[in-house]
Amino acid sequence: MSVLSHTLLIFHGSARESASNAAVAFAAELSSKRDCSDFSICFLKGAEPDLTLAITNAIAKGYKKLLLLPLFLLPGAHISEDIPAVVDKFKSSNPEVAFQVCDCLTHNPQFIEFVSNQIASVRD
């Protein structure tokens, strides 16, 4: 039996509607990719759904494994403190749910490769 898993893409959030619209457009484009449909987006602040609501919704839908993927370039308080604090609040009341929090994008070898390829493409 497989564990129901779900990915939450975490955007910083902004009071600007254009930022939320860009996140929604990104999610729509991403969902058209192969094997890339079981995710949802959320925001840390300034837009809805926020991270707390997104986790609540995922647990209510029966997901037992949540991958939290912050779409932040650099390490900082959001990744080292804010996101883990939200997760910790859920862990004690939902011990059956496994949480995995990813690091910032600049610590991801695939992202580094992407940037490298972009730089190299200028020379082509």
Helix (H) or strand (E) holding 100: strand 98-101
pLDDT values of the chain reduced to their tens digit, one per residue, 124 residues: 467 999 999 999 888 888 899 999 999 999 998 788 899 999 999 899 999 999 999 999 999 999 999 999 999 999 999 999 999 999 999 999 999 999 999 999 999 999 999 999 987 6
Which position has the token pair 């840390």?
44
Range of the domain at 45: 5-123
Number of domains within the chain = 1
| 3-state DSSP assignment of residue 28 | helix
* CATH number for the domain that contains residue 31: 3.40.50.1400
Q: Taking the model in full, what pTM does it have?
A: 0.90
Buried b vs exposed e over 4-16: b needs ≥16 C-beta within 10 Å? eebbbbbbebeee
Rounding to the nearest 10 degrees, give the CA dihedral for residues 95, 81, 20, 26. Answer: -70
